[in-house]
Amino acid sequence: MAPESDPLTEPRKVVEDTNANAKFFQFDQHQAKLSTEILAGITTFVTMAYILVVNPDILSNAIFLQQPKDF
């Protein structure tokens, strides 16, 4: 009878990912998941879109634009 293996003492087996995108972006080396990366990309896009919409309004109300020029 073979002794049972203890999962706490055995080295972890790395499962090879066959997905081309996962291999290219090296998700296993960076300890990342595709779903996490997609969510981060969407969050970044929405943030930048918000900045592009709001930034002109903020700058148009800036004090330095309402002062006379020094020339």
Residue 5 has pLDDT above 80, yes or no: no
- Contact (Cβ atoms closer than 8 angstroms) between residue 22 and residue 34: yes
- Contact (Cβ atoms closer than 8 angstroms) between residue 28 and residue 17: yes
* pTM of the predicted model over 0.95: no
The pLDDT value given to residue 27:
83
7-50 tens-digit pLDDT: 677 666 555 555 787 788 888 888 888 889 999 999 999 999 99
Residue 2 has pLDDT above 70, yes or no: no
50-67 tens-digit pLDDT: 999 999 888 887 766 666
Cα separation, 17 vs 14, in Å, equals 9
Cα separation, 27 vs 33, in Å, equals 6
